[in-house]
Structure 1
Amino acid sequence: MKLPRGATLLSGIVGSTAYGLARPDSDVDRLGLFAVPTADLHGLKPQPETYTSTQPDVCLHEARKWCRLALSGNPTVMELVWLPDELYEIRTPLGDELIGIRTTLLSAKRVRDAYLGYATQQFKRLYDRGDSSLSADTRKRTAKHARHLRRLCHQGFELYATGRLSIRVENPEEYHRFGEQVAADAMAALPLLKHYEAAFDETRSALPEQPDEAPVEAWLRRVRAHYYAPAGAPGR
């Protein structure tokens, strides 16, 4: 599917490359958000909310869906507005506005539930997958999932405790060693998960109880106004 020309508001390189965990054979993942022409939202035909591609690896969410996911604390979409400047490939004024209100998207419970929830799901996958008798390809995927379990725990706790999100990890080799340990024995991930569960429980969050939806609502309405053209008029 082809995006309307000029509709991408913000996009950048995410995933292992952004975290500093990429190896030579790692894919380069891109994430972004776009705006459907406003008039199209009022027609009979439902408008796609997500565009994906595998060559290259790209995922773009429509602005309203991206906001809903971000307000829920979704770790994957959240990193788009916390990337280092050099990882952005498209930045529009509306994209910069969204980066400027990123903290209003956050709330303590949703961040805790989303990041720890994702990490727990990763652990269950690792545990269900089995032990060191796995094939080489499965061990490789297991190590990758273990690295992301550790990253989710660390980033989620940082965001919960400080209200800030660091995308690049401090010591990539520690993450790779952890991945290999868990690939050999899935239970090696359990102490880390328990440590962060306790850390969340014992730490007073810097985040509010609820996100502030008003700035996000206002931003989305500016997007709709910007991409509105009356029927028959040329689009933006």
Structure 2
Amino acid sequence: MIEPANILLSGIVGSTAYGLAGPGSDIDRLGMFAAPTTAFHGLAFPDDSVVSKKPDATFHEARRYANLALAGNPTVSELMWLPEHLYETRHPLGDDLIAIRAAFLSAKRVRDSYLGYATQQFKRLEARGDGSFSADTRKRTAKHARHLARLVQAGTGLYSTGQLQLRVDDPTWIHEFGERVAAGDVDLARKMLADGEAEFDSAHTPLPIEPDRTAVESWLRRVRAHFFEG
């Protein structure tokens, strides 16, 4: 696994964080790092992401991470909401990020992002979901269906409470849902998506109209000050 320098926050995400991991599940890692501040003073900016495979790990530079999270990216945002035991690196500035995680939230972005990602999963499984495909394709389709259900549950929960719960309440139900969709019941997934959209539309949300960009900007400037070497 390739790791950049100056990691501020990293942890285990994906199926392990959702409570859906099985014996053959991959261990997915996500992290955020700070490039040296002087690296931004030249003609070219430093790499803003470092990605490696086997094991799967993605690290985003602090500025890119902040912008992705402000846009409501569900996958990136998970890093700020992990349970304590899944964090592997926590720099004080990473702790500061966790402390302001609510600053990244806004009602429209949460709704649009979670429904958008869930819709992507539906389109992928819909293209395969007639129950007649190979075992490998059925496995991928079941995975897409599980992600769809999880995204709807997590997104509507975040929208209505202001808190992101990563671990699903009923892993068995999620797995059974995935298998039923993979066996050909695409309408079940379609209903899940429609019900989720209706729940977003009817729910009262404590989330603000816009994220608190001032708080995020202040944090990023502290990061740049910390890693500046004149």
For normalisation by structure 1, the TM-score amounts to: 0.94
- The whole-number CA distance in structure 2 between the counterparts of 1:71 and 1:47 is 21
Structure 1 residues 3, 25: CA separation in 2 closer, same or farther (over 3 Å shift)? closer
Indicate if the aligned counterparts of 1:158 and 1:164 stay in contact, CA closer than 8 A.
yes
Counterpart residue number, 2:87: 88
Amino acid at match of 2:189: A
Structure 1 residues 4, 53: CA separation in 2 closer, same or farther (over 3 Å shift)? closer
Amino acid at match of 1:104: A
Amino acid at match of 1:219: W
Deviation (angstroms), 1:16: 0.2
Indicate if the aligned counterparts of 1:163 and 1:206 stay in contact, CA closer than 8 A.
yes
Counterpart residue number, 1:73: 72
Amino acid at match of 1:89: E
Structure 2 portions without partners, runs of 5+: none
Q: List aligned pairs for 1:44-123, cutoff 5 A.
A: 44-123=43-122
- The whole-number CA distance in structure 1 between the counterparts of 2:2 and 2:55 is 14
Amino acid at match of 2:208: P
Deviation (angstroms), 1:121: 1.1
Deviation (angstroms), 1:209: 0.5
Structure 1 residues 4, 175: CA separation in 2 closer, same or farther (over 3 Å shift)? closer
| Deviations, residues 77-99 of structure 1 (Å, cap 9, x unaligned) | 11100000000000010000000
- The whole-number CA distance in structure 2 between the counterparts of 1:177 and 1:3 is 36
Moved more, 36-45 or 21-30: 36-45
Runs of 4+ aligned residues of structure 1 deviating over 4 Å after TM superposition are 1-4
- The whole-number CA distance in structure 1 between the counterparts of 2:2 and 2:12 is 20
Overall identity of the aligned pairs, in %: 61
Counterpart residue number, 2:137: 138
- The whole-number CA distance in structure 2 between the counterparts of 1:16 and 1:32 is 16
Secondary structure at the counterpart of residue 222 of structure 1: helix
Moved more, 50-59 or 123-132: 123-132
Cα RMSD (Å) of the superposition? 1.2
Deviation (angstroms), 1:45: 3.0
Structure 1 portions without partners, runs of 5+: 231-236
Amino acid at match of 1:206: P
Q: What is the number of equivalent residue pairs in this alignment?
A: 229
